[in-house]
Amino acid sequence: MGVQNGKDLLVKVDMTGDGQFQTIAGLRATRVSFNAESVDVTSLESQGGWRELLGGVGVRSAAISGSGVFRDAGTDERARQLFFDGLTPDFQVIIPNFGIVEGPFQVTAIEYAGSHNGEATYDLSLASAGALTFLAL
């Protein structure tokens, strides 16, 4: 896989619950992370005193963060309402030449900023709220 264009990493939200996804806001920088907790099963009988991990267990999670400018009033309102209502709609994260991650996320933080001679900006954080699916591209 060669160098990828950062603007092609997209975060989309199901705006109305009908399975139609729309790019949320005007993200300029985006980060996606996947995590899995490990379950340590090391004992006195572990070979050579090496740590042993139990496979296939532990909590898995994903986090998305981004910053930028809102595209339009609709996506701005949707992101804000998701936070205040504590909803967990489906999101899609399109990672160029890798795949599409889809599933429920909760908006865990939203911050607004601006200067008198520039545009209003925001920072957005999402946390996975259920099982995610992955479709390779």
CATH 2.30.110 fits 6-136, yes or no: yes
Is the pTM above the cut of 0.95?
no
Query: How much is the pLDDT for 51?
Result: 95
Q: What is the H or E stretch that residue 105 is in?
A: strand 99-113
The percent of residues in the chain predicted with pLDDT above 90, rounded, is: 48
Query: How much is the pLDDT for 5?
Result: 63
Contact 96, 5 (CB under 8 A): yes
Q: What whole-number distance in Å separates Cα of residue 100 and Cα of residue 127?
A: 16
Three-state secondary structure string covering 24-41: CCEEEEEEEEEEECCCEC
In tens, the pLDDT along 26-54 reads 778 888 899 999 999 999 999 999 999 99
CA distances from 56 to 13, 20, 37, 72, 134 (A): 29, 32, 10, 42, 17
Name the pairing type of β-strands 99-113 and 90-95.
Answer: antiparallel
In tens, the pLDDT along 89-109 reads 999 998 888 899 999 999 999
